[in-house]
Amino acid sequence: MRSASRVALFGALLVTLCLLRSAGGSAGVDFRASNYSFPDDFIFGVSTAAFQIEGAWNEGGKGESMWDTYLHKNPQFTPDRSNGDVAADSYHKYMEDIQMIQKLGVKYYRMSISWPRLLPNGTDNNISREGAMYYRTLFEELLKVNITPIVTLFHWDMPTALMDLGGWTNPKVMDYFEDYARVAFNLYGDIIKTWTTLNEPHQHCYNGYGLDYFVPALMSHGVGEYLCTHYLLLSHARVYRMYEKEFRPYQKGKVGITLDAFWAKPRDANKAEDVLAANAYLHMHLDIYAHPIFSDVGDYPTFVRERVNNMSLEQGFSRSRLPYFTDEEILAIKGSADFFGLNHYTTFIMSPSSMEPKWNVPSLDHDTGVKVDQNLTWPRPGPEWLTVYPPGFRQLLNYVQDNYRMLRDIPILITENGMADLGQTEDYERVAYFNDYLHQVLLAIHEDGVNVKGYFAWTLMDDFEWSDGYTFKFGLYKVDFDSPEKTRTPKLSAKNYANIVRTRRIDFNYIKPPIIRPFQFNYL
């Protein structure tokens, strides 16, 4: 999950307003399509990430991740001055987590390995026995109850020892990532058959290297953010090719990547410049990662290459701020995924702009040249960045498949989708969000023929939400962070999701909201 900015807690008012909007079931909604069901081979799961739930930051021989180190030094980074030291304490409470997953009825659990829990120094000369045991036990316990773990190698928790060397801006870190992946494949590849290399490289590079919304908060806008992009793409391909050569012949698993995308809606669909702006946004934020991997030709999209080259030249750089791949690298990256993992949360409104007050120069924002707005008539139940606009999901799924032909042969897996609020267990807004967004997935499958084969709800339980700390909650289960036991309680959305998983349909009337939606918002 990401969050675009650190916002004050204005959520109480919003939640009140949004509760009024309420869940589905009001007049004017076209229910025909709710008769579609999820195909037999469609998989349902739920997602988490190590740093957001595990806690136990210094237990079991774990080394520090850059998030541990940074948050200890800069407690003001989160509005509630919180960190991931304890989080939901999943390091100790994983058996309870497994029971919660079972109750949802899903058969898949997307989770991540903490690199510094397995390799305290980031390097493979020092494998933590306890770290290795922890994940082995967790995987085995999941499999015992028929839940298949899908494992992410890098969900943002870079070992501090390697961040100190420049993190993803240091090309040698690719070697250490490859070594880490090899350790993981050796330890777990006999039972783990689906891996993702990276989670949301775009959010990581843009907000962490280009800005200071995420750790490492480098503010290396326009330079470091592209180095991060470049070496992450190469690191991903290195691991994919290494698995292909050394492990696939006998482990026979799949390796993919998870990209994130907001949908980009032109301010006025009849104005060519707004449509171009929306396309520019998608090229610079999504296609910059997707095109090198999933297109027939590989490499960065022509638009991205030209734009960053043009801007760099104008700005007096003697080289493009976007590094070049060699021909060999282009080939290694092209086709380096067995599935397209997609995380999606919201939609923004696009129009052209050459400069905005909050942009840095140079930067990805400035290079993109697109003003990004919200439509404030859409519900906004939690953090400032997350408005609810379900049709954007269907359009995004279509965009992704239309632009990348190989997606007719390899599937799209929705690896995250969800909504934040203040954590109430009667979470009618979240029930409506999942109903409406999953409904768009059904339309994409049945009416548009998009090859979507799975859906993972974000997230199993309330967690540490990066720069929002614990101020906003995404969980299907509530976690009482004030209790020493970190007590977990199912929310209404857990019951609703379990019903969707069980029936493979969406019943908009399964959970009845207490108040009728006061205004018509028919986005089905």
Give min distance, CB of 251 to ligand NAG, in A: 27
3-state secondary structure of 331: helix
Give min distance, CB of 357 to ligand NAG, in A: 21
Residue 63 or 149: which CB sits closer to ligand NAG? 63
- Number of helical H runs and strand E runs in the chain: 19, 13
Residue 254 or 267: which CB sits closer to ligand NAG? 267
- Find, among 336, 315, 333, 314, the residue nearest to 324 by Cα: 333
Give min distance, CB of 228 to ligand NAG, in A: 21
DSSP calls for 275-299: HHHHHHHHIIIIIHHHHHHHSSS-S
96 catalytic per annotation: no
Give min distance, CB of 488 to ligand NAG, in A: 29
Residue 322 or 349: which CB sits closer to ligand NAG? 349
Residue 205 or 349: which CB sits closer to ligand NAG? 349
Give min distance, CB of 277 to ligand NAG, in A: 12
Residue 247 or 378: which CB sits closer to ligand NAG? 378
Give min distance, CB of 322 to ligand NAG, in A: 12
Report strand pairing: 488-490 vs 194-199: unpaired
The active-site residue out of 54, 96, 384, 416 is 416
- Find, among 198, 231, 154, the residue nearest to 341 by Cα: 198
Residue 94 or 378: which CB sits closer to ligand NAG? 378
| Partners of 152 in the β-ladder | 112, 196
Q: Which tokens sit at 511? A: 């959970």
- Find, among 290, 394, 287, 386, the residue nearest to 345 by Cα: 386
CA 196/CA 343 separation, integer angstroms: 13
| Residue 401 Cα distances to 290, 351, 413, 451, angstroms | 11, 24, 12, 8
Give min distance, CB of 280 to ligand NAG, in A: 8
CA 26/CA 290 separation, integer angstroms: 38
Q: Which residues bind ligand NAG (CB under 6 A)?
A: 32, 35, 61, 63-64, 120-121, 126, 161, 265, 267, 303, 306-307, 310, 349, 375, 377-378
Give min distance, CB of 142 to ligand NAG, in A: 26
H/E segment holding residue 163: helix 160-163
Q: Looking at this protein, which amino acid is placed at residue 514?
A: P
Residue 281 or 378: which CB sits closer to ligand NAG? 378
- Find, among 365, 351, 236, 224, the residue nearest to 294 by Cα: 236
CA 448/CA 458 separation, integer angstroms: 25
CA 438/CA 506 separation, integer angstroms: 8
| Residue 470 Cα distances to 198, 268, 292, 381, angstroms | 24, 37, 36, 16
Residue 103 or 267: which CB sits closer to ligand NAG? 267
Strands of 91-245, DSSP E: 108-112, 148-154, 194-199
Give min distance, CB of 93 to ligand NAG, in A: 23
- Find, among 200, 275, 260, 522, the residue nearest to 390 by Cα: 522
Give min distance, CB of 64 to ligand NAG, in A: 6
Residue 32 or 358: which CB sits closer to ligand NAG? 32
| Residue 321 Cα distances to 64, 316, 353, 364, 450, angstroms | 31, 11, 21, 10, 35
- How many residues in total does the chain contain? 524
Prior bond of 362 cis (ω within 30°): yes
Sign for the CA dihedral angle at 512, 513, 519, 524 comes to negative
Residue 63 or 256: which CB sits closer to ligand NAG? 63
Strands of 216-362, DSSP E: 254-260, 263-266, 340-343, 347-352
Residues designated as active site = 416
